Amino acid sequence: MTTLAPSASARHQPTPLGGFSLGFLRLELRRMLRNRRTMIFTLLIPPLFFVIFGLQSDFRTQSFGSGNVTGYVMVSMAVYGALLATTSGGAMVAIERAQGWSRQLRLTPLHPVAYIATKVAVAMVLGLVSVSAVFVVGGVLGAHLTPVAWVGCFLLAWLTSLVFAAFGLFVGYLLPSENVMQLLGPVLAVLSFAGGLFIPLHGWFDTVSKVFPTNGVATLSRMPFGDTSAGSIALAVLNVVVWAAVFVGGSAILFRRDTAR
Protein backbone atom coordinates (compact mmCIF):
# COMPACT_ATOMS: atom_id res chain seq x y z
CA MET A 1 0.00 0.00 0.00
CA THR A 2 1.40 3.41 -0.94
CA THR A 3 1.55 6.03 1.80
CA LEU A 4 1.14 9.56 0.59
CA ALA A 5 2.86 12.42 2.38
CA PRO A 6 0.57 15.16 3.68
CA SER A 7 -0.04 17.96 1.23
CA ALA A 8 1.54 21.37 1.81
CA SER A 9 -1.82 22.82 2.80
CA ALA A 10 -2.42 20.00 5.30
CA ARG A 11 0.99 20.47 6.83
CA HIS A 12 0.33 24.15 7.44
CA GLN A 13 -3.08 23.70 9.06
CA PRO A 14 -3.06 25.07 12.64
CA THR A 15 -2.74 22.32 15.24
CA PRO A 16 -3.17 22.52 19.03
CA LEU A 17 0.09 23.52 20.75
CA GLY A 18 1.90 23.47 17.41
CA GLY A 19 1.70 19.68 17.23
CA PHE A 20 3.16 19.07 20.70
CA SER A 21 1.74 15.85 22.14
CA LEU A 22 2.30 13.58 25.12
CA GLY A 23 2.53 10.60 22.79
CA PHE A 24 5.48 12.09 20.94
CA LEU A 25 7.07 13.07 24.27
CA ARG A 26 6.73 9.50 25.60
CA LEU A 27 8.27 8.13 22.43
CA GLU A 28 11.25 10.44 22.76
CA LEU A 29 11.68 9.53 26.44
CA ARG A 30 11.73 5.82 25.64
CA ARG A 31 14.32 6.37 22.95
CA MET A 32 16.49 8.28 25.39
CA LEU A 33 16.19 5.75 28.22
CA ARG A 34 17.20 2.94 25.86
CA ASN A 35 20.50 4.67 25.14
CA ARG A 36 22.70 2.81 27.61
CA ARG A 37 25.82 4.85 26.95
CA THR A 38 24.02 8.11 27.71
CA MET A 39 22.38 6.75 30.84
CA ILE A 40 25.61 5.29 32.23
CA PHE A 41 27.48 8.51 31.49
CA THR A 42 24.73 10.54 33.19
CA LEU A 43 24.48 8.36 36.28
CA LEU A 44 28.13 7.53 36.92
CA ILE A 45 30.45 10.35 35.80
CA PRO A 46 29.05 13.30 37.85
CA PRO A 47 28.87 11.33 41.15
CA LEU A 48 32.37 9.98 40.49
CA PHE A 49 33.69 13.52 40.03
CA PHE A 50 32.01 14.51 43.28
CA VAL A 51 33.71 11.66 45.14
CA ILE A 52 37.10 12.61 43.67
CA PHE A 53 36.91 16.35 44.32
CA GLY A 54 34.38 16.72 47.14
CA LEU A 55 35.83 14.38 49.75
CA GLN A 56 39.39 15.70 49.83
CA SER A 57 41.14 16.71 53.03
CA ASP A 58 38.77 18.20 55.61
CA PHE A 59 36.13 19.53 53.20
CA ARG A 60 33.40 17.92 55.28
CA THR A 61 34.37 19.98 58.32
CA GLN A 62 35.04 23.29 56.54
CA SER A 63 32.10 25.70 56.44
CA PHE A 64 30.89 27.42 53.31
CA GLY A 65 27.89 29.71 53.59
CA SER A 66 25.05 27.77 55.15
CA GLY A 67 26.72 24.41 54.50
CA ASN A 68 30.14 22.82 54.15
CA VAL A 69 32.70 22.73 51.34
CA THR A 70 31.65 19.19 50.43
CA GLY A 71 28.13 20.50 49.92
CA TYR A 72 29.50 23.30 47.72
CA VAL A 73 31.39 20.79 45.57
CA MET A 74 28.30 18.56 45.42
CA VAL A 75 26.21 21.41 44.00
CA SER A 76 28.96 22.26 41.50
CA MET A 77 29.19 18.66 40.31
CA ALA A 78 25.40 18.38 40.17
CA VAL A 79 25.32 21.44 37.92
CA TYR A 80 28.10 20.00 35.76
CA GLY A 81 26.25 16.69 35.53
CA ALA A 82 23.06 18.51 34.54
CA LEU A 83 24.96 20.43 31.86
CA LEU A 84 26.45 17.23 30.46
CA ALA A 85 23.13 15.40 30.54
CA THR A 86 20.94 18.12 29.07
CA THR A 87 23.48 19.11 26.42
CA SER A 88 23.98 15.50 25.37
CA GLY A 89 20.23 14.94 25.29
CA GLY A 90 19.68 17.96 23.08
CA ALA A 91 22.64 17.23 20.82
CA MET A 92 21.29 13.80 19.92
CA VAL A 93 19.27 15.66 17.31
CA ALA A 94 22.45 15.57 15.22
CA ILE A 95 22.04 11.80 14.88
CA GLU A 96 18.41 12.26 13.85
CA ARG A 97 19.49 14.71 11.19
CA ALA A 98 21.92 12.17 9.75
CA GLN A 99 19.16 9.54 9.69
CA GLY A 100 16.69 11.87 7.99
CA TRP A 101 14.26 11.75 10.92
CA SER A 102 14.00 15.54 11.26
CA ARG A 103 12.97 15.84 7.60
CA GLN A 104 10.27 13.25 8.14
CA LEU A 105 8.94 15.25 11.07
CA ARG A 106 8.85 18.35 8.91
CA LEU A 107 6.27 16.61 6.71
CA THR A 108 3.90 16.68 9.69
CA PRO A 109 2.13 19.73 11.18
CA LEU A 110 4.75 19.74 13.98
CA HIS A 111 5.85 23.33 14.59
CA PRO A 112 9.60 23.92 15.11
CA VAL A 113 8.98 25.38 18.57
CA ALA A 114 6.92 22.32 19.58
CA TYR A 115 9.68 20.01 18.33
CA ILE A 116 12.29 21.97 20.27
CA ALA A 117 10.08 21.99 23.38
CA THR A 118 9.80 18.20 23.21
CA LYS A 119 13.55 17.78 22.85
CA VAL A 120 14.21 20.17 25.71
CA ALA A 121 11.71 18.33 27.93
CA VAL A 122 13.46 15.01 27.27
CA ALA A 123 16.86 16.54 27.95
CA MET A 124 15.54 18.00 31.22
CA VAL A 125 14.40 14.56 32.36
CA LEU A 126 17.93 13.32 31.76
CA GLY A 127 19.28 16.31 33.70
CA LEU A 128 16.94 15.51 36.60
CA VAL A 129 18.32 11.98 36.77
CA SER A 130 21.90 13.29 36.85
CA VAL A 131 21.27 15.90 39.56
CA SER A 132 19.42 13.33 41.67
CA ALA A 133 22.31 10.87 41.43
CA VAL A 134 24.84 13.45 42.63
CA PHE A 135 22.64 14.66 45.49
CA VAL A 136 21.97 11.13 46.71
CA VAL A 137 25.70 10.33 46.78
CA GLY A 138 26.44 13.70 48.40
CA GLY A 139 23.85 13.17 51.10
CA VAL A 140 25.30 9.78 51.95
CA LEU A 141 28.94 10.92 51.96
CA GLY A 142 28.76 14.01 54.15
CA ALA A 143 27.47 17.04 52.23
CA HIS A 144 25.83 19.44 54.72
CA LEU A 145 23.26 22.05 53.70
CA THR A 146 20.25 23.54 55.44
CA PRO A 147 16.91 21.92 54.47
CA VAL A 148 16.01 25.01 52.42
CA ALA A 149 19.39 24.92 50.67
CA TRP A 150 19.02 21.21 49.85
CA VAL A 151 15.74 21.86 48.07
CA GLY A 152 16.76 25.19 46.56
CA CYS A 153 20.11 24.03 45.20
CA PHE A 154 18.56 20.88 43.79
CA LEU A 155 15.80 22.72 41.93
CA LEU A 156 18.05 25.51 40.68
CA ALA A 157 20.79 23.13 39.51
CA TRP A 158 18.18 21.26 37.51
CA LEU A 159 15.98 24.09 36.22
CA THR A 160 18.80 26.38 35.10
CA SER A 161 20.28 23.56 33.02
CA LEU A 162 17.43 24.34 30.61
CA VAL A 163 19.89 26.72 28.99
CA PHE A 164 22.15 23.83 28.05
CA ALA A 165 19.34 21.64 26.79
CA ALA A 166 18.75 24.41 24.26
CA PHE A 167 22.51 24.70 23.73
CA GLY A 168 22.70 21.01 22.87
CA LEU A 169 19.96 21.41 20.28
CA PHE A 170 21.68 24.44 18.82
CA VAL A 171 25.01 22.63 18.48
CA GLY A 172 23.26 19.51 17.18
CA TYR A 173 21.83 21.51 14.27
CA LEU A 174 24.98 23.54 13.76
CA LEU A 175 27.47 20.69 13.42
CA PRO A 176 27.44 17.33 11.60
CA SER A 177 26.66 14.24 13.66
CA GLU A 178 30.16 12.78 13.39
CA ASN A 179 31.64 15.82 15.16
CA VAL A 180 29.12 17.08 17.65
CA MET A 181 29.43 14.48 20.43
CA GLN A 182 33.25 14.60 20.27
CA LEU A 183 33.31 18.38 20.70
CA LEU A 184 30.75 18.76 23.46
CA GLY A 185 32.85 17.30 26.29
CA PRO A 186 35.85 19.64 25.86
CA VAL A 187 33.60 22.63 25.13
CA LEU A 188 31.57 22.12 28.31
CA ALA A 189 34.73 21.66 30.37
CA VAL A 190 36.16 24.94 29.05
CA LEU A 191 32.85 26.76 29.61
CA SER A 192 32.65 25.38 33.15
CA PHE A 193 36.12 26.63 34.07
CA ALA A 194 35.58 29.97 32.30
CA GLY A 195 32.22 30.49 34.00
CA GLY A 196 33.55 29.81 37.51
CA LEU A 197 31.68 26.56 38.03
CA PHE A 198 34.62 24.56 39.38
CA ILE A 199 36.69 27.19 41.20
CA PRO A 200 35.95 30.71 42.52
CA LEU A 201 37.31 33.42 40.21
CA HIS A 202 38.74 36.78 41.23
CA GLY A 203 39.68 40.08 39.63
CA TRP A 204 39.17 40.52 35.91
CA PHE A 205 38.66 36.75 35.53
CA ASP A 206 35.50 37.08 37.61
CA THR A 207 34.31 40.02 35.50
CA VAL A 208 34.88 38.22 32.20
CA SER A 209 33.26 35.02 33.49
CA LYS A 210 29.87 36.71 33.76
CA VAL A 211 29.37 36.62 29.98
CA PHE A 212 29.59 32.81 29.81
CA PRO A 213 26.33 30.82 30.06
CA THR A 214 27.81 28.59 32.77
CA ASN A 215 28.26 31.57 35.11
CA GLY A 216 24.56 32.35 35.39
CA VAL A 217 23.71 28.71 36.02
CA ALA A 218 26.46 28.31 38.64
CA THR A 219 25.60 31.54 40.46
CA LEU A 220 21.89 30.80 40.73
CA SER A 221 22.46 27.19 41.78
CA ARG A 222 24.68 28.31 44.68
CA MET A 223 22.35 31.12 45.74
CA PRO A 224 20.76 29.10 48.60
CA PHE A 225 24.17 29.00 50.33
CA GLY A 226 23.47 32.63 51.19
CA ASP A 227 26.70 34.30 50.05
CA THR A 228 25.45 35.83 46.78
CA SER A 229 24.79 39.56 46.42
CA ALA A 230 21.60 40.94 44.89
CA GLY A 231 23.60 42.42 42.01
CA SER A 232 25.19 39.07 41.19
CA ILE A 233 21.80 37.37 41.26
CA ALA A 234 20.32 39.96 38.89
CA LEU A 235 23.22 39.50 36.45
CA ALA A 236 22.88 35.72 36.70
CA VAL A 237 19.16 35.86 35.89
CA LEU A 238 19.87 38.12 32.91
CA ASN A 239 22.63 35.75 31.79
CA VAL A 240 20.33 32.72 31.89
CA VAL A 241 17.43 34.47 30.15
CA VAL A 242 19.57 35.91 27.35
CA TRP A 243 21.47 32.71 26.60
CA ALA A 244 18.29 30.62 26.73
CA ALA A 245 16.65 32.97 24.21
CA VAL A 246 19.71 32.86 21.96
CA PHE A 247 19.93 29.07 21.93
CA VAL A 248 16.18 28.43 21.57
CA GLY A 249 15.86 31.01 18.81
CA GLY A 250 18.95 29.72 17.05
CA SER A 251 17.69 26.13 17.27
CA ALA A 252 14.34 27.09 15.73
CA ILE A 253 16.04 28.92 12.86
CA LEU A 254 18.45 26.06 12.20
CA PHE A 255 15.62 23.52 12.37
CA ARG A 256 13.71 25.41 9.68
CA ARG A 257 16.81 25.74 7.52
CA ASP A 258 17.83 22.12 7.97
CA THR A 259 14.40 20.78 6.96
CA ALA A 260 13.66 23.28 4.20
CA ARG A 261 12.77 21.82 0.79
If the chain, 261 residues long, is cut into consecutive pieces of 10 residues, what is the mean pLDDT of each piece?
Answer: 47 51 75 74 86 85 86 92 86 71 63 74 88 93 91 94 89 74 82 86 85 92 80 89 91 75 53
Close Cβ partners of 4 (under 8 Å, ≥ 6 residues apart): none
Amino acid at 169: L
pLDDT of residue 66: 82
pLDDT for residue 151:
94
Per-residue pLDDT, 240: 94
pLDDT at site 246: 93
**Residue-level pLDDT at 1:** 46
Write down the pLDDT at residue 11. 45
CA distances from 224 to 41, 62, 132, 158, 232 (A): 28, 17, 17, 14, 13
pLDDT of residue 8: 47
Q: pTM of the predicted model, to two decimals?
A: 0.83
Q: Are 5 and 107 in contact (CB under 8 A)?
A: yes
